[in-house]
Amino acid sequence: MSNQLSRRSILGKIGATLAGVLAAPVARTAKAAVQKVLVTTGAPKGYDPTRHKWVMAIDANRCIGCGLCAEACKKENHVPEGAFFRTWIERYVITKPKPESGETRGETLVDCPDGGMHGFPALSIPKEEIQHSFFVPKLCNLCHHSPCVQVCPVGATFDTPDGAVLIDPKYCIGCGFCIQACPYGCRFLNPVTKTAEKCTLCYHRITRGLKPACVEICPTQSRVFGDLKNPAPDDPLEKFYQNNRVQALKPHLGTEPRVLYAGIDKEVR
Amino acid sequence: MTTEVTNVLFEVMPHFEGYVYPNEATQQPLWSILIVLYPYITGLVAGAFIMASLVRVFNVRALEPVYRLSLLTAFAFLLCAPLPLLFHLGHPERCLEVMMTPHLTSPMAIFGFVYAWYLMAVLLLELWFDYREDLVRWSETTPGFQGILYRLFTVGVMDVRKPALELDHKIGHILSIIGIPSAFLLHGYVGFIFGSIKANPWWGNALMPIIFIMSAMVSGIALCIFNYMVLSWIRRKAIDMKCLDTMCKFLFYALVMDGAIEALDWIHRIYSAEEGFQVIQYMAREKLFYTLSVGQLAFGTLVPLLLLGVLQLIRLRVPEVMRRRMYFTSSALVLIGVLAMRWNVVIGGQTFSKSLRGVMSYKMEFAGLEGWFMGAILLALPFIILTVMVKLFLSEKLATTPPWEPPTAGAGQRPDFRTEPVRP
């Protein structure tokens, strides 16, 4: 039979497998080297993304809607004026049901004037008609299965090993596909650079040992930030996950956001 | 509802009802008229090619007079298909990245290759093999610049002996067969660009590629009818009624299938009434009333269905002039209806917030990259290119040998619309 195993063919196959196994790390290193040269991330020299896993969590119970985070983010990241936000705060007001309506709750009203950057105006609804009222800070959800990364035609937006989802502004072609694909409205097309933009967890700061601007400025520690691979003593993230039952936004879409929320309601999308 | 009309007439500041994410509260939707035109033009390409394949692959002899016109239509529109996409990019100068470093999980990246394949490997080659014999002859008989052009198009292959022509014929046939799935792929992919966006309940839909393919066929056939009638009118040539009847029969069938699939889509949406259905319902009733209910459904689908349907039943009892008018009206309405459909998909998908709590109004500007004017230019451009191509390759002065003829047969003997007697 011609397809019988011969010593030569077996050796050949073993050789090919070995070559493949040996070539894989070489290819990985080459890819990393290429990325290092070509990809713009804002991280300092010598920063090793494989040694970190950054994440943010939101304790909506603590948020007072002061808007400092949104303002700090705009300033820190030079986000253009107008309807462009890397982070913002939404106010939810759920009214009580009308008497004898047979409903469990009334209307849900959401607002976010100027991204919540300058706080919120007083409510026009009388206090006694309100069932729940709370603030929800929003940012990139750092999805496990990011639809934005999936659809980028040139790979300008990518998952980093340390958990951030970044955009290379020198490579982005500005097609807007990622903006359409993000279910959370976290992306926008920067009118100045004509490229897509979003929360980077202040990558230029966290890779230098600082906290993101919004976390730094939050007066109520509603935004909890940390490195899952290097937990600090008395780590706030660890405490957050331990003390709260958490929720993700739009879980039915299967994006598996890594940013988890405590203290939100089913109405939050 | 009224903003759609007022926006045409004068400028209305954008406004928002309910809650929209702050990043969505922009002056213009991210994808506007250019991205409306992109699937429209691509669809016309795919449809016109299918029309040509009916002759070549499915042997519908009655359509022979429009074979070459359909192919040239497909080619002219294909050349313009990526332009809206290119102009819309924030960085058009980086467009080649899509081909050089494609991200393979992105539908848009793969579209680049599908487009290139369709242009280079299918349409261009098929046209060349179809025209080769003619090009050689024309290059010898036509004087001046035009003759030089024909000579250039032959790329130096001047062999018109019988075996060579037989090979041309064979390759052309194979390319036609490859072309059909390629045309489906081309436009199915455009549908997938929208259908793959699960974040948007208006778009994220498994039926989207099929809807796009069907509407592409409808619009492409309608465009061929439109072009054929206009060209015959310009040249004062009698229309081959058998050909026109057959084209319109195919338009009717395609329209029935397209309408059925779109109806199925709506039935599914209404019955399953998933998250976001309320906002979709509001959009259909209010925001998109004119383009969806009036433009796409009533004038773009129902009226042509009625006109063409009646003609299928009592064609012989309707006088020719009347029939021609009904056909022309149907094809023009279908073309407008499919444009309205693209508008509804692209603009409709962006006039509600992904928070599903609010809607935006779209104000289309006149000038500017995303304005009426630019849209009109981009829509006129393929027709201008087609006019040049018709002058060069469907000239009344030049005798042609259509590819379905045996290679040895004399040129210009077939009764097609170029050689028929002048209409009285």
Residues of B in contact with A174 (CB under 8 A): 89-91, 94
0.90 surpassed by complex ipTM: no
Look at the domain A42-269 and name its fold.
Alpha-Beta Plaits (3.30.70)
Contact A153 B90 (CB under 8 A): no
**What's the pLDDT at A256?**
96
Contact B26 A83 (CB under 8 A): yes
**N-to-C CA span, chain B:** 48
Q: The pTM is what?
A: 0.88
Residue B254, SS3 per DSSP: helix
**Which among B30, B92, B106 is the nearest to A176, CB-wise?**
B30
Nearest CA in chain A to B202: A180
Q: Phi-psi region for residue A11, left (φ > 0), alpha (ψ -120 to 50) or beta?
A: alpha
> Mind telling me how many Å the CA of B104 is from chain A's nearest CA?
7
Cα separation, A154 vs A177, in Å, equals 11
**What's the pLDDT at B410?**
41
Which residue has 């999805």 as its token pair? Answer: A143
**Which among B19, B90, B193 is the nearest to A173, CB-wise?**
B90
**Which among B21, B23, B97 is the nearest to A173, CB-wise?**
B97
Residues contacting B376, CB < 8 A, separation 6+: none
Contact A172 B91 (CB under 8 A): yes
Would the pLDDT of A69 be above 70? yes
Q: pLDDT tens digit string along B355-411?
A: 999 998 887 888 888 888 999 999 999 999 999 999 999 988 777 766 666 554 444
DSSP conformation class of A97 = P
Domain layout of chain B by residue ranges: 2-393
Q: Which of B13, B15, B23, B98 to mutate to test the interface with A (most CBs of A within 10 A)?
A: B23
What share of chain B in percent tops pLDDT 90?
Answer: 72
Residue B296, SS3 per DSSP: helix
Residues of B in contact with A181 (CB under 8 A): 197, 199
Domain layout of chain A by residue ranges: 1-38, 42-269
Please give the CATH architecture assigned to the domain spanning B2-393: Up-down Bundle (1.20)
Residues contacting B158, CB < 8 A, separation 6+: B136, B139
Is B412 in contact with B419 (CB distance < 8 Å)? yes
SS (H, E, C) B115-171: HHHHHHHHHHHHHHHHHHHHHHHHHHHCCHHHHHHHHHHCCCCCCCCHHHHHHHHHH
Contact A173 B91 (CB under 8 A): yes
Q: pLDDT tens digit string along B306-339?
A: 999 999 999 889 999 999 999 999 999 999 999 9
Contact B112 A195 (CB under 8 A): no
Q: pLDDT tens digit string along A232-261?
A: 899 999 999 999 999 999 999 999 999 999
Pair type for strands B357-360 and A260-262: unpaired
Backbone angles phi, psi at A88, to 5 degrees: -155, 170
> Mind telling me how many Å the CA of B362 is from chain A's nearest CA?
16
Per-residue pLDDT of chain B (424 residues; tens, 9 = 90+): 455 554 555 545 557 889 999 999 887 889 999 999 999 999 999 999 999 999 989 999 999 999 999 999 999 999 999 999 999 999 999 999 999 999 999 999 988 899 999 988 899 999 999 999 999 999 999 889 999 999 999 998 999 999 999 999 999 999 999 999 999 998 898 999 999 999 999 999 899 999 999 999 999 999 999 999 999 999 999 999 999 999 999 999 999 999 999 999 999 999 999 888 998 899 888 889 999 999 999 999 999 999 999 999 998 899 999 999 999 999 999 999 999 999 999 999 999 999 999 998 887 888 888 888 999 999 999 999 999 999 999 988 777 766 666 554 444 443 344 434 444 3
> Mind telling me how many Å the CA of A200 is from chain B's nearest CA?
16
> Mind telling me how many Å the CA of B415 is from chain A's nearest CA?
48
Contact B98 A188 (CB under 8 A): no
